[in-house]
Amino acid sequence: MLPQIRATRYVTPLKEGGSLPGIVEASDCGTYVLKFRGAGQGIKVLVAEVIVAALARLLDVPVPDLAVVDLDERIAKYEADEEVQDLLTASIGTNLGVDFLPGALGYDGALPPPRELAERIIWLDSLTANVDRTWSNPNLLVWHGRTYAIDHGAALYFHHSWPGRAPDPDRFAAQPFDASRHVLRDVAGDVAARHAELSALLPRPALVAAVDEVPDEWLEPTPWLTDASAVRAAYVSMLSARLADPRAWLPTGGDR
């Protein structure tokens, strides 16, 4: 379970983020980048953030700690900026807190991660269909000399089709991944050669535990997935199917 805390002060918007994330102080005295449930992209983005960060931890890819952050209406009420106030008001309830890494640098290639970490990150992005780690949007931070992966909201995009059709694990398994524009492509070696070792770190119980980190109320039922536990099981099936058959999505050594 992720820690459950409360936002105590909205500090400032993070201008860089497309979804208008904000910095907040929280009841545990920590400072968090808050990803809002009321942002335009919807709550599924937060689900992807939680699941992919949990998989990253299993693969020993550094990610900031996450927390579920409750936002109450008083914080929204005292915000002067109208656009931010609307976002805060739309986000009353639970949101995703990403531990703020003070002074972290955006990745620019000057301090590349070790080759084998670059391979783990590309493999994770290929598995979860995360297209959001290119030079135009690296979504990597360098903090105390280590490379951290952030912003996984674009991954697992299959869930955006769930309101309209039943989950299709075979279809996801067969979805190719284009790693040629990945920001770490030139740092990594043969990603496919790592598949056996890395997939062994994600046995089914580990997938179940990763998906279990998502709060129940973020798991929207659909006509086919009528409660949170059905939605959880669907995420596990999708990931299991893709892990079991990597032929379509595994970046080959030849992609370099």
Ligand X SMILES: Nc1ncnc2c1ncn2[C@@H]1O[C@H](COP(=O)(O)OP(=O)(O)OP(=O)(O)O)[C@@H](O)[C@H]1O
Residue 38 partner contact from ligand X, Mg ion, none using kind-dependent CB cut-offs of 5 to 8 Å: none
Q: Least distance to Mg ion from the beta carbon of 137, Å?
A: 5
CA 253/CA 256 separation, integer angstroms: 6
Alpha-carbon 170 to chain mean position: 22
94 or 139, CB closer to Mg ion?
139
For Mg ion, give the closer residue by CB, 139 or 147. Answer: 139
Q: Which does 112 bind (CB under 5 to 8 A by kind): Mg ion, ligand X, none?
A: none
Query: Least distance in Å: CB of 18 to ligand X?
Result: 3
Residues 6+ apart with CB under 8 A from 183: 107, 109, 133, 134, 135, 138, 140
71 binds ligand X (CB under 6 A): no
- Report the residue from 151, 185, 187, 238 that binds Mg ion according to the rule CB under 5 A: 151
Asked if 62 is part of the footprint of ligand X (rule: CB under 6 A), the reply reads: no
To which residue do tokens 């912003």 refer? 151
Helix (H) or strand (E) holding 167: none
**137 interacts with ligand X by CB under 6 A:** yes
Residue 91 structure tokens: 């986000």
**Cβ 251 to ligand X shortest distance, Å:** 22
The counts of H helices and E strands in the chain are: 8, 8
| Residues near ligand X (CB under 6 A), total | 20
According to DSSP, the residues that pair with 96 across neighbouring strands are 35, 68
Using alpha carbons, list the distances in angstroms from residue 69 to 6, 43, 122.
5, 14, 29
Q: Is residue 49 at the binding interface for Mg ion, with CB under 5 A as the rule?
A: no
Binding site for ligand X (CB under 6 A): 14, 16-19, 21, 33, 64, 98-101, 104, 106, 137, 139, 141, 150-151, 153
- Residues of the shown chain interacting with Mg ion in the complex, contacts defined by CB under 5 A: 139, 151
